[in-house]
Amino acid sequence: MRRLARVSSYLLGSPRRSPAALAMNAYDVFDEMPDQVFTSLVPLANASQVVGGTRGSCLCTAARESAHELAGPDPLLFTVVPGDATVEGPSAAVSEAVERVCRVVCTEPEPKIPSALDALGVAVSPELVAQVLKHLSNAGMLALAFFRWAERQDGFRYTSESFHNLIEALGKIKQFRLVWSLVEAMRCRGLLSKDTFRLIVRRYARARKVKEAVETFEKMGSFGLKTDLSDYNWLIDTLSKSKQVKKAQAIYNEMKRKGRFVPDLKTYTVLMEGWGHEKDLLMVKTVYQEMVNAGIRPDVVAYGMLISACCKAGKCDEALKVFQEMKVSGCMPSPHVYCMLINGFGSEERLDEALKYFELYKESGFPMEIPTCNAVVGAYCRASKFQHAFKMVDEMRNSK
């Protein structure tokens, strides 16, 4: 029956995915692979190989205790050179050079990459380095090989953007020891920010290393970065979206118990969304009630989370009560709310009610959107009204 809900997408057809879209899908491939795959394919480089630091006479050696704790038992020793972290403005001539560099890095054997890049004769700049590393986001060790070559070139400067792009690339293949070496290199240059730790937390969470993700978040204070409520909301959201909502709930409970911050509307809605993905209606209701008891007025997002959870649990009558409460409170339903109700009633084969809310959707002046039309098509199909489904698809075609 799930396939019927998507029938209009198949009937309408879809454009071919671009290479960029296909590359985005590769993220999840790395997330699903076990750590052993990468450690067996690529030997762990010594941390001193991450940042060569061969230029200049003033060297900064960093081997921080915090990196030892999070990255593993082996010592992380490397040498880096302090440099100007100023990021230059964009250059129109960089795109072609980036393409040429990426072609060489991706086609040459790794030992020959430095000499092949030397032969290109491209002018190295912070923008070029950052863009190449971004393009090599799904090839972590190649990104590292390029970075090690680039830092020995005239015109190279260490920037937050280049470090972040390299951290992202290495994090995708779970090379966290190397990632923490880069963190120390950034600290040496004063380039660390909350964005750095957010990158690492997200990579740990997607790798299902929840303990390490939380420890990384808590380490921000020891690096001189003060956390606030928005940071906790982000952590709860990240864990929830990484299918770790129980841990997200525990962090929320601990935050309340210690009185660090007072939860706000965002805190509650991200928790409701997380429990909604787990199809745990009871917990969605519990969080919603806590929010109301705290004196926080629900917005369209919070109402939408509760309606969605009710519909997914097959309790459309409860969803309808929330919808009515929402309107009475003066909160106007969004297209997404109507779409969820249409989907919910359609899933229960209550076609007349699904069509009723589709009419209300149109009367509200919302434009015809594909998700809503798909929900109507799905409702027709579940009721075996295939001619009506095809008619709806034709209307969608004609409205383009």
* Residue entry with tokens 């509307």: 265
Nearest to 144 by CA among 129, 155, 159, 124: 129
CB contact set of 367 (below 8 Å; sequence gap of 6+):
none
Identify whether the C-beta of residue 76 lies closer than 8 Å to the C-beta of residue 47.
yes
Q: Which CATH class is domain 42-227?
A: mainly alpha
pTM of the model: 0.71
Spatial distance between the Cα atoms of 1 and 6, rounded to a whole number of angstroms: 9
Q: Is residue 85 predicted with pLDDT exceeding 80? A: no
- Tens of pLDDT, residue by residue over 123-161, are 999 999 999 999 999 999 999 999 999 999 999 999 999
pLDDT in tens, 187-242: 999 999 999 999 999 999 999 999 999 999 999 999 999 999 999 999 999 999 98
Q: Is residue 293 packed enough to be buried (19+ CB in 10 Å), middle (13-18) or exposed (0-12)?
A: exposed
In whole angstroms, what is the distance from residue 143 CA to residue 368 CA? 44
Note the pLDDT tens digit of each residue in 304-331: 999 999 999 999 999 999 999 999 999 9
Cβ atoms < 10 Å from Cβ of 318: 17
**Domains in the chain: boundaries:** 42-227
